[in-house]
A and B are shown apart, each in its own frame.
Chain A
């Protein structure tokens, strides 16, 4: 089986990608081409949103912010908050750069210490 990823609009992050899957059923058969669409977001996942510890922001406040910004349930928001508290940082989200920047902007609006970093 051969899989080809064709990015129709290279450089345009919002563009959708066409995923062509060529399935070879047998030596003498013609290959059938299955076409499916995937957003560039699914293909390109290079940035982390990181929240860093600071001794001033209250734990309850940080939990509330994670719930609001990322829509996480309380348990998940608390898990990240505790990770920030104990380890100094936590990766809150990974994905495309524009969305990561938007999340960091929202977090800065709540006055949390947040940054984006390239994965890897």
Chain B
């Protein structure tokens, strides 16, 4: 895998099929409908549960706005990921071009995905710091996914910082 800045985009070249597949899973991972733990984390309460009125108003007015914001970010990422579907050879390495104008959407969608996965699998601090976990189960794969998405977030953040200079 090769990563470089090309004009106003971040290009990830020589992306192998396994990592490409993990990237394709960002939108679904970001919005898991069947994980209450993930939903709870993505839409966390704004204050203590005793503040019932504020919590109720938050659910009514703020959560739908947040949901729209998150969906919009995920949709942008989904469209960028279309590039990974147009390869002629099924197992060939491919290139993903992330326009820097979409950087915020990518940061948001990657964060949604990481938080949702981590909430679903309840990873411990120890697990999150262990990068040597073998990929033996769905849980291991999900941990790898969280770390790989975090790596991508770091790259995007670094490019955004470079762009400011």
Contacts and interface: CB of A to CB of B under 8 A. Distances in A.
A55 B128 contact: yes
B46 A60 contact: no
Interface in A96-120: 101, 104-105, 108-111, 113-117
A117 B154 contact: no
Contacts of B47: 115-117
Chain B: number of interface residues, binned into ranges: 20 to 34
B142 to A, nearest CB: 12
Contacts of A60: 154, 157-158
Nearest to B46: A104
Contact of B66 (A56, A101, A108): A108
A117 B128 CA distance: 30
Contacts of A117: 47-48
Contacts of B108: 110-111
B62 interface: yes
A108 B112 CA distance: 11
Contacts of A105: 46, 62, 65-66
A101 B153 contact: no
A27 interface: no
Contacts of B114: 56
4 closest Cβ pairs, A-B complex: A111-B111, A115-B47, A56-B118, A60-B157
28 contacts: A55-B118, A56-B115, A56-B118, A56-B146, A57-B111, A57-B115, A58-B150, A58-B153, A58-B154, A58-B157, A60-B154, A60-B157, A60-B158, A61-B153, A64-B157, A64-B160, A105-B46, A108-B44, A108-B46, A108-B62, A108-B66, A109-B66, A110-B111, A111-B42, A113-B44, A114-B46, A116-B46, A117-B48
